[in-house]
Structures are given as structure tokens and as C-alpha cells.
Amino acid sequence: MRLIADIMKRIKQVSALLLLLANLGNGLAGTNEVQITDVAFTAVCDGAEQRYMEILPADFDPAKKHDLVIGLHGHGSDRKQFATAVFAEANAFRAFAAKYGMIAITPDYRAKTSWMGPKAEADMVQIINDLKKKYKINRVFVVGASMGGTSAATFAALHPELVTGATSMNGHANHLEYVNFQEAIAESFGGAKTTIPSEYKKRSAEYWPEVLTMPIAFTTGGQDSIVPPGSTIRLAGILKQLNRKVLIIHRPAGGHSTDYADALAALEFMYDPLKPVAAAENSVPPAVANLTAQVGNWANLEPTDNDAKGKVELGLKFSVEKAGKIKVLRFYQAKSESGAHTLRLWGADGKRLLAINAPERPGVGWISVPLPEPFAVTPGNIFVVSYTANANYPATSDIFKTPIRRGDVTALAGVYSFDALGEKAPDKIYLNMNYFLDVELD
């Protein structure tokens, strides 16, 4: 973690000299002045005074449209880190903003131990909305490193409608598995993960790949023990499965930092994913290739627990590799399960696309239901097939540690819900469970 910003003097205005010196060291010197202001505002969510640094580009013209880029600092730092500190990720952020004439904002987002908790999230939304009223804002990009990298991915997943592109440098994507800084994260999130796991899942980008439709870039280090890269690598793999605009620059020998060239390459990809990114060539970790290449059949298994107890909505989250039509939905009936069942298909937005009754029959095993009218599906979308178990259901853990591809169908996760059964798509994940649902394409 970088704590350089903690020793810097409080500023109201910073001359362009610091930015010039930072960029000189990387061969990107500039000559024009930028305007940097320390801005205070009252947070709508709780009335507290909060702050951000605002960096206006050289020759700023308020009558013209400008893109907005937001830089999120790491654990232990504050708004000044990305605005004034001299290190590779911050240098690249400022040079990138200057190159494209962007308005750059570096918020406290609840300062040193934020991790994009509810109040930090609310502050971010407020800042964006306020700036859209103050200036002619075109597009919005979110960038961060370390805690800020995690938070950039979190905010993009929480508010995809606000974010045009995102860059996450040395962050993670799964708060349920992350083990460092737990006391600070619990304070930010409003409790420990054992007491409010849904809040930790909500703020874990790995669980919401379907909404990450914007260009997104990741940088990771194979030797990073502060924020291990595993969940980010998995998320990048899933996004690649969905044919999203995603870049991951992985350095196997790298630690908890991103060098200037890689940081700038990630930012450039976020800004224009069609532009060649030389620094990222051959940098995708083998684990991503393994994710995308895993082939198997989650349905061709015997449940390890064939009579789990509970009335629950169970589902399979999946995507397809090419356009086609779903012609059959199926589920595996547990040993003691009986009664009527309805199979449902849901879209990524949670909208129910269709429902069809399954034939009642005694005994254990698969029950298949042909659709009277095959349902057209296209790649790049995520679907959920589900049903309500009346009292018993099958389950096997540790099946969906990675996506599983069978033919043109990729199973992403087993999902469940105890709430509003049949009225909403199940969305909870536990122990990478397989609840034995399936679809068949023509």
C-alpha cells in the first residue's frame, strides 16, 4: 500500500509543475497548466462534509463537452493520492486525463478504508450527478488501484448505467473470499461477512458479469499477496466467455503494483478497446485460458446429496456461445421430492421470459420439458433456468469453481433463493453448488 499521500501538505491549488515532473520521468512531459481544486460538498446520504480533488484540463472550456475520469485511491490513502502523488499508476492516470482533455476527479469516497461501502457508493453517484449539472459531461470512466481497483470494478457493477469504461489495477473481485483488512471492510459495509454476506456479494464484481458490458481493463500480479489476483482472473475469464470488451494484463512475477506502461495500456484500452495495446501482448495468465477452455457436463453427474431439505428456488446461470434456440428445459428430481413443478427462464435483467409446467411423476431422476415454441437466444447474454423445489432437492458442491462448457452452452453458476419463489430469478451462490438443472439447444 502506498502511504505517500499521507505526508504531503494539504493544498487548495496545485500548480502544473508536479504533474510535469511526474510525467517527465515517464517521457510524457507537457507544457500546459491544469487547474486543480480541493472541493468540499455535503453528502446527501448522511449530511457529512466530504471532499474530492478536481483537475480541469489545460485550456478548459466550460462551453464544450468533456469526458470525466474518476481516480480511486488505495487503502490508507485519500483523495490526494491520484491527484498529486508521484507513482506509476497515478502518473498514468493524470497523463491519460491530460492527453484526452478530460475532467479528472479524485474523491475521498470515505477516505482511508472505503472499499466502496454504501456511503462511498452514494458519494460517487452524487459527485457524478453534481458534475453533470456543473459541466457538460460526455462519458464517465472509473479507475482505481489496490482498494481503488476493487472499488472501480464494484462501482461499475453497481452502476453500469453511469460508467462508460473501467480500469481495475491490482484489485480483487470477490469480497466473500477476500481475507485482508476485514475490520475496515466490516466498518465500511456495516457488518462482518458472516452476518451480512449479501452485502459482500453485492459489492463483488465477480458475481455480476452480466452487467459489465462496458470496456473494462484489469492489471494483476502473480506474486500479489496483499490483494491476490485469483478472483479478478476468474472474472476476466467469464467476461471473455461472454465476448465482452475486456483486457487483463497479468505479470506472473509482479507484486502489488502496476508499472507505468501497463497502467497506461489499461487506460487506453478502457478508452478505446479497438486500439492495439502493445504493452499487454502475451500477458493473459494461463488460468484465464483454462477458464475459457474447460469442457465438461455438469448434468452428467450423480448428486452427492440427493435429498437436501428445503423449499427453495433453484437455478442454473448460463450463457450460449452462438445464436440458437432453447428447445428443452430440465431438472433433476430428488429422491423424496414430489408434486407439481414449473420451470422458468429468466433474462439477465431478472425479467421472466417464459414458464412451463413439468409433468408430475414419482421417483428420482431427470424430468425434461420440451418447449412448445423454441426460445431464441443470442451470445453475449446471460440466462437463468429455475424451478421451485417443494421439499427436497439434489446438490453437489465445488462444481462451478470455473465455468463449464458443453457444446454451445456454458454453465456459469448454480444459484438459489428463499425469497419470492417463482417471482424473481434466484441469484445467491453457495459453495459453487450444482443444483442439477439443464437446457438443450436445437
Sorted by where each begins, the domain ranges of the chain are 4-293, 305-441
Residue with cell 504533474: 19
C-alpha cell at 66: 468533456
- DSSP letter for each residue of 152-196: HHHHHHH-TTT-SEEEEES--S-TTT--TTHHHHHHHHTS-TTT-
For residue 56, give the nearest of 19, 4, 92 by alpha carbon: 19
Q: What is the pLDDT of residue 278?
A: 56
Are 311 and 389 in contact by the 8 Å Cβ rule? The answer is: yes
pLDDT above 70: percentage of residues in the chain: 88
**Taking 80 as the threshold, does the pLDDT of residue 97 lie above it?**
yes
Q: What is the pLDDT of residue 33?
A: 62
Q: What is the pLDDT of residue 35?
A: 80
CATH architecture of 305-441: Sandwich (2.60)
Q: What is the CATH number of domain 4-293?
A: 3.40.50.1820
DSSP alpha helices (H): ranges in 79-117?
80-84, 88-99
Tens-digit pLDDT profile for residues 215-234? 999 999 988 889 999 999 99
**Taking 60 as the threshold, does the pLDDT of residue 164 lie above it?**
yes
Q: Nearest 5 degrees, angle CA 259-CA 261-CA 266?
A: 95
- H-helix or E-strand containing 70? strand 66-72
CB atoms within 10 A of CB 311: 12
pLDDT band at residue 393 using 50, 70 and 90 as cut-offs:
very high
Of the candidate ranges 1-15, 23-37, 44-58, 155-169, the one whose mean pLDDT is the lowest: 1-15
Is pLDDT larger for residue 113 or for residue 281?
113
**Taking 70 as the threshold, does the pLDDT of residue 29 lie above it?**
no
Q: What is the pLDDT of residue 57?
A: 93
pLDDT band at residue 276 using 50, 70 and 90 as cut-offs:
low
C-alpha cell at 145: 488501484
Contacts of 440 (CB under 8 A, 6+ apart): 326, 327, 328, 330, 368
End-to-end CA separation in angstroms for the chain: 52
Q: Which residues pair with 352 in a beta bridge?
A: 346
**Taking 50 as the threshold, does the pLDDT of residue 282 lie above it?**
no
**Taking 50 as the threshold, does the pLDDT of residue 262 lie above it?**
yes
Is pLDDT larger for residue 19 or for residue 260?
260
Amino acid of residue 332: Y
Q: What is the pLDDT of residue 277?
A: 62
Mean pLDDT on 120-129: 98
**Taking 80 as the threshold, does the pLDDT of residue 438 lie above it?**
yes
Mean pLDDT on 433-441: 96
**Taking 70 as the threshold, does the pLDDT of residue 412 lie above it?**
yes
d(Cα 297, Cα 179) in Å, to the nearest integer? 32
d(Cα 122, Cα 51) in Å, to the nearest integer? 13
Q: What is the mean pLDDT of the chain?
A: 88
DSSP alpha helices (H): ranges in 251-348?
260-271, 286-293
Mean pLDDT on 27-34: 45
Look at residue 348 and give its three-state secondary structure.
coil
Look at residue 271 and give its three-state secondary structure.
helix
Mean pLDDT on 130-142: 97
For residue 430, give the nearest of 176, 231, 213 by alpha carbon: 176
Q: What is the pLDDT of residue 24?
A: 36
